[in-house]
Amino acid sequence: MSAIGCLDFKQIESLSWDADRCGFRNRSVDAPFKGVYSVFQKRVVSKKELKTVCGIPYSPQHVARLEAAGQFPKRIQLGKCRVAWLVSEVEAWLDERIAKRDANMRSDASS
């Protein structure tokens, strides 16, 4: 069975052991899985995890305002009452903010 969706529990456990042994796991993101290696390439975070995992200090209302203004990654509708954001997009957003800060610091220092 080569499809990812068809892996049985023993195969997933062996992936978990290999990832631990080789040091490929990211403990902060993998923490909710507690030993079961995630076979998904795309990671998502919930509203609550924006604060706890990603360190985004904004309220859900402010995040919605930023999204509407095109200043924050767009949410993914997972279900009727469940939304999430791609971790990669949130990290890219943070990287942009850091780069903007560093550019401002360089321009201030050269003035």
Residue 82 C-beta-side C-alpha neighbours within 13 Å: 6
Percent pLDDT > 90 in the chain is 55
Sign of the C-alpha dihedral computed for residues 21, 24, 30 and 36 taken in this order:
negative
- Would you say residue 22 has pLDDT above 70? no
How much is the average pLDDT of 40-53? 91
How much is the average pLDDT of 59-80? 97
Round the average pLDDT of the chain to a whole number and report it. 78
Q: What is the pLDDT of residue 2?
A: 45
Q: What is the pLDDT of residue 107?
A: 80
Find, among 74, 83, 72, 79, the residue nearest to 48 by Cα.
83
pLDDT-wise least confident of 4-8, 47-51, 67-71: 4-8
Q: What is the pLDDT of residue 24?
A: 47
- Would you say residue 4 has pLDDT above 50? no
